[in-house]
């Protein structure tokens, strides 16, 4: 029996930029040897450098991320949105 979903794996063309994005959202990010892990509680988003992956038939394809939606839950959406606007220094 399946106990839980553990992680999703995505190809990324720029791991540094991906890490910066998730850091700015406030998530813990681990970057080791061409693999980036973003912890979301007990779930992990894994990003692999698409230029270094062994499975090449899907890497480098466009458009990226088409049809993939990731949802996160927060305790207070207005408070979190205010925090994000300050962190990203933008006006929505």
**Fold annotation for 7-55+67-88:** 2,3-Dihydroxybiphenyl 1,2-Dioxygenase; domain 1 (3.10.180)
The ranges assigned to domains in the chain are 7-55+67-88
Statement: residue 56 has pLDDT above 80 = no
Among candidate residues 11, 13, 26, the one with its CA nearest the CA of residue 87: 26
Contact 59, 53 (CB under 8 A): yes
Tens of pLDDT, residue by residue over 62-84, are 666 655 666 677 888 899 889 88
| Buried/exposed code over 7-39 (b: 16+ C-beta within 10 A; e: otherwise) | eeebbbeebeebbeebeeeeeebeeeeebbbbe
Among candidate residues 70, 54, 64, the one with its CA nearest the CA of residue 13: 64
- Give the contacts of 41 (CB within 8 A, at least 6 positions apart): none
- What would the mean pLDDT of 16-37 be, rounded to a whole number? 91
Model-level pTM greater than 0.85? no
């Amino acid at each position: 029996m399946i106990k839980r979903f553990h992680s999703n794996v995505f190809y990324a063309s720029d791991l540094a930029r991906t890490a910066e994005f998730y850091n700015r959202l406030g998530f813990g990010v681990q970057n080791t040897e061409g693999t980036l892990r973003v912890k979301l509680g007990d779930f992990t988003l894994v990003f692999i450098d698409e230029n270094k992956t062994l499975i090449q038939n899907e890497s480098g394809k466009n458009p990226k991320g088409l049809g993939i939606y990731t949802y996160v839950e927060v305790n207070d959406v207005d408070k979190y949105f205010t925090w994000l606007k300050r962190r990203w220094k933008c006006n929505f």
